[in-house]
Every structure is written in structure tokens, then in C-alpha cells.
A and B are shown apart, each in its own frame.
Chain A
Amino acid sequence: MLGEFEQIVLLALIRLADDAYGMTVRREIAERIGRDVSIGAVYATLDRLEKKGLLKSRTGDPTPERGGRAKRIFVITATGKKALQGAQAAFDRMREGVKLG
């Protein structure tokens, strides 16, 4: 089962497509939901999801604006998409017929 933040990160990866790396994922989350998460928290979640096989990473080319450091680009896997669908479906089923307030 995926946690809330894990789902948010996976959704950010889908939104960012080929441009998903630590900084863009962090900014996407901040812009979309107004949550100022640390870059460390983003990497910790990405690392955990990669270990679960829900995403994969590759190293990009180093660029001068990054101080000559390479990007680590993340892509969601088919398993990741399936897990995300399952988590969203479970949430929808639980929410069905529930009136809040």
C-alpha cells in the first residue's frame, strides 16, 4: 500500500515526464499543493519507491548550473502506475457514500 506522500511523488513523476529529478519533483509538489518539502524528504521517498520497483532512475549529463553535477532522472514503471491506480481506487472505494461535515 502506498502512503500519501508516495502517491504525490509518483503523480509528480507522471506530470513531469522526462524532466523528473529531485529539484523539479520538489518544485512540482510545492507549486501544486503548496507543501514546502525538503529535497532530502523527496530523495528518501524516491529511493524507497525505487527499492519497491515502482520507479527507476538513470543518471543524466552534468550541467554547469548544477556545479558540474549530473541529474538523477526518475521514471515511473508499469508496476508503479499499477500500484498508484490501486491506491487511488482503494481511496475512492473508502470515500464512496461518506459525507464529511
Chain B
Amino acid sequence: MSRHTQKTAPDLTPSPAWHSAPALIQMAVCLFAPPDIADALLGDLEEELSLLPLAGRSRVAEFAWYTRQVTKSLVPLMKIRIARGELVASVALSQIAFVLPLLAIECLRSFLLSNIPLKDGAEMSSSFISMLVMLSAVFAMIGAFLLCSFRKSVDRLALLLFTAICLLYSSLGLLPLHSWKAGGVLLIVLLPAIAAGAWLWRKVEPTQNFSGEEFQ
């Protein structure tokens, strides 16, 4: 192959009035992107955003540009995490973290009710279900937090365990949330909890990635 011509670097002189990027959208990047990429990517966007006023764009246009860039980037970023096995692993262990305590609570409830005459098989009250959902969220957050420090082989083991537990759990009919509505509510509660757990871990251990390796 012939030698390639070296292009002069583009003019990256920042505008003196560069604006800081929208915090909420930055958070979306942190949630979707692997931590080692998220930081560099946010820096790139911030740098490019600082150059936009030079082209005569308004702040609204800047915001629209930034939002469009992030929105278009979320799926590719998610693909990186799936390819690295981070996402599956995070969800897997956090699920184990909530399925096991939920199973224990349900077993305890059944045991207690079976010892009270005429109470066995009674419908669960809404407050009890709310408590289960809240506990699930807490355990999901802790699970996600713990998983982030685990290594890949352990992640795989966690995924296998999770699948086995879920199969056992559903086949025994122990899951108290039968309807799709209840499942939806649980999902809405759990996903932010998982994300919060992962975010907390990143705050505590910012120099490591999800496979436990130190950044370059």
C-alpha cells in the first residue's frame, strides 16, 4: 500500500464561550457506555460542542446537536457493553440478588400463614407486594454494585445460576407477580436500581473497569 498523506490536524481552538453539556444527557452516556469509553466520549462531545459556536450556531442548535449525538450513540454503546459481557453480567447478578431474597421472603410468608388457621393461601395485600418490590429494588442495586467488581468467569457462573433459579422459581409458581402489569412495574423499579448500583460502584472505584482491570 502506498504511504498515506498526513493531514494537518483540524483547528480545535475552543471558543472562549463554550458551554457545558446537559447533565441529564451526560448521565445517559454514563449509564449506557462502558466507563473507560464514557469518559473519553463525553470529553470528545464537550470539545466538539465548544467548537460549535465558531460555526455560528445558537445554544438551542448546540443542545439539539449534543442530544442527537448522544441519542444516536446509545445503541452502539450498548452493543459494546453486550460484546464485553458487562450488561448481561450486571443484570444477571442483580437479578440473583433480588430473586433469592424474594424467594426467602415468600417462603417465610407461606410458612407463617400455614401456621395460622384459615389464613393459608390468602391473597397478598398491596402493602406486602409494595414491600417486596421495594426490597427487590434495594437488592437489585446492591447486586449491580457487587457485580461490577467481579471478574468475567464469575459473571458467567452468575448468569448460569440466575437462569437455573429463574426456571426453578417460575416452575414452582412462587413468583408472586403473575400479571404482566406487575412485571412491568417491577421492571420499571429494577432497571433504575441496577443502573444506580452500577453508578455507585463507578463512584467508589473510578480507576477500574467492569472486568476488574485497571484503565490504561
A→B interface (CB under 8 Å): 11, 14-17, 19, 21-24, 26-28, 31, 38-41, 43-44, 47-48, 51, 57-59, 62-67, 69-72, 81, 84-85, 88
27 A-B pairs with CB atoms under 8 Å apart are: A11-B4, A15-B5, A17-B6, A19-B9, A23-B44, A24-B9, A26-B44, A26-B48, A39-B69, A39-B73, A40-B70, A40-B72, A43-B33, A43-B37, A43-B41, A43-B77, A47-B80, A47-B83, A59-B40, A59-B215, A63-B47, A65-B18, A67-B42, A71-B40, A71-B43, A72-B37, A88-B1
Answer yes or no: B106 CB below 8 A from chain A CBs. Answer: no
B10 within 8 Å of A by Cβ?
yes
State the CA gap A45–B40 with chains docked (Å). Answer: 15
Partner of A40 from B6, B36, B73, B216 at Cβ < 8 Å: B73
Interface contact B73-A81, CB-CB below 8 Å: no
Residue of B nearest to A88 (CB): B1
A59 and B215 alpha carbons, distance in the complex (Å): 9
Tell me whether A15 and B42 are in contact (CB under 8 A). no
The interface centre, meaning the residue of B18, B39, B41, B44 with most chain A CB atoms within 10 A of its CB, is B44
Does B62 count as interface, using CB distance less than 8 angstroms?
Answer: no
Given B4, B33, B72, B74, which contacts A15 in the complex, CB threshold below 8 Å? B4
Note all chain B residues with C-beta closer than 8 A to A72: 36-37, 40
Choose from B1, B21, B47 the contact partner of A23 (Cβ within 8 Å): B47
Interchain CB contact under 8 A, A22 and B44: yes
In the complex, what distance in Å separates the CA atom of A27 from the CA atom of B77?
19
Q: Which of B14, B40, B42 contacts A65 (CB 8 A)?
A: B14
Q: Which B residues are CB-close (under 8 A) to A48?
A: 83
Residues of A within 8 A of B6 (CB): 15, 17
Contact with A along B1-18 (1 / 0, CB 8 A): 100111101101010001
Contact of A84 with B1 in the complex, beta carbons under 8 Å: yes
Least Cβ distance of A51 to chain B in Å? 8
